[in-house]
Amino acid sequence: MAVLKVAQLGHPILRRRAASVPRDTLRSRDFQRFVDDLIETMREYSGVGLAAPQVHEGFQVLAVEAQKGQGEMPEIPLTVLVNPVVTLLGEAMVEDWEGCLSIPGIRGRVPRHREIRVEALDRRGEALDFTASDFYARVIQHESDHLQGIVFLDRMKSFETLTFLDEYARYWAEE
């Protein structure tokens, strides 16, 4: 396994729509190695999600996970989604803080749907169909946006809360 280089805001791959992964690719050794590397990279940088475009690969794969003891975040089981389709459920929206490994050191408040339905393949090609809510839904929406060439800054209603991480810790974290 290897830690991959993370694309930073401004790199064109972050603004491109990712291509679907063909089913016959899923079981290949190279694809499985890539998924392992994606997970290792996410964990190395203490991220709770990472999408393939963020590591310079233009296809629809993402991983999410929040482990026990990883800040004050609720736990999220390790989830790998291939070719995900996210359906927004209900009208309920929640605005909360987000950051991104491709936009290091910055946080901002982003409105997201509280509940979503996810249809995707897992890393081995098995069908997944589940609902996610709250923080789990937020992380999946954030990472799915990367597959469409969207970053969290594009979703912010206002840049008034855009802040560097040090200032976030000083002034906003207790909110």
pLDDT band with cut points at 50, 70 and 90 for residue 69: low
**Among 119, 126, 143, 175, which one carries the catalytic annotation?**
143
Q: Is there a domain that residue 7 lies in? A: no
Percent of the chain whose predicted confidence (pLDDT) is above 70: 97
Q: Is there a domain that residue 4 lies in? A: no
Q: Is there a domain that residue 131 lies in? A: yes
Q: Is there a domain that residue 130 lies in? A: yes
Q: Is 72 a catalytic residue?
A: no
Total domains, the chain: 1
Q: Which domain holds residue 29?
A: 12-172
**Residue 79 to residues 49, 105, 125, 133: CA-CA distances in angstroms?**
9, 25, 13, 14
| Rounded average pLDDT over 77-96 | 97
**Residue 116 to residues 12, 93, 142: CA-CA distances in angstroms?**
28, 11, 12
Report yes or no: 112 and 137 within 8 Å, Cβ to Cβ: yes
Parallel/antiparallel/unpaired status of strands 127-133 and 103-121: antiparallel
* The predicted structure's pLDDT at residue 73: 74
Q: Is there a domain that residue 157 lies in? A: yes
pLDDT band with cut points at 50, 70 and 90 for residue 74: confident
Domain harbouring 56, CATH code:
3.90.45.10
